Amino acid sequence: MHQDNLTDLLAGRQGLTKSELIQYLARRTGLTKVETETIVDGMLGTIRDALTMGKKVELRGFGTFMVRTRQPREARNPATQETVLLDRRTVPVFKPSKTLKTAVDESADNAGS
């Protein structure tokens, strides 16, 4: 991968892997891939650790990572039509900031033009 431009990197693809993100960021920042991977892993690990403690992580202009509790509920197994009880569980959620929502919406509008 030698693309310095994110548009070129993503051309004809659905998304970006962690490894590709690290390579892209390393090229863009001038850091080594090892340094960049350390930073990315540190950031993701910190977010994970905060969530496991029930805390939220707010990245202004990007969004907020938080946990929510899902109450127990009945569901149906589609293969057998059997009703099963899903236990209460805690799940990670991401709430995008207004800035991020606007940027994505505007880029979708421009892509459709």
Q: Which residue has the higher pLDDT, 8 or 113?
A: 8
Phi and psi of 60, rounded to 5°?
-55, 135
- Distance CA(96)–CA(65), nearest Å, equals 9
Show the tokens assigned to 84.
């099963």
Reported as a single tens digit per residue, the pLDDT across 32-65 is 999 999 999 999 999 999 999 999 999 999 999 9
What confidence tens digit (pLDDT) does each residue in 76-106 have?
999 999 999 999 999 999 999 999 999 999 9
Reported residue count of the chain is 113
Q: How confident is the model at residue 1 (pLDDT cuts 50, 70, 90)?
A: very low
Q: Would you say 73 and 102 are in contact if contact means Cβ atoms under 8 Å apart?
A: no
Counting residues of the chain whose pLDDT is more than 90, the rounded percentage is 81
Sequential DSSP letters for 31-95: --HHHHHHHHHHHHHHHHHHHHTT--EEETTTEEEEEEEEPPEEEE-TTT--EEEEPPEEEEEEE
- Local confidence band at 13 (pLDDT 50, 70, 90 cut-offs): confident
pLDDT at residue 88 in the model: 96
Average pLDDT over residues 15-38: 95
For 68, phi and psi rounded to 5 degrees? -130, 150
Contacts of 26 (CB under 8 A, 6+ apart): 32, 33, 35, 36
What are the domain boundaries of the chain? 1-55
Picking from 1, 57, 66, 53, the residue whose alpha carbon sits closest to that of residue 27 is 1
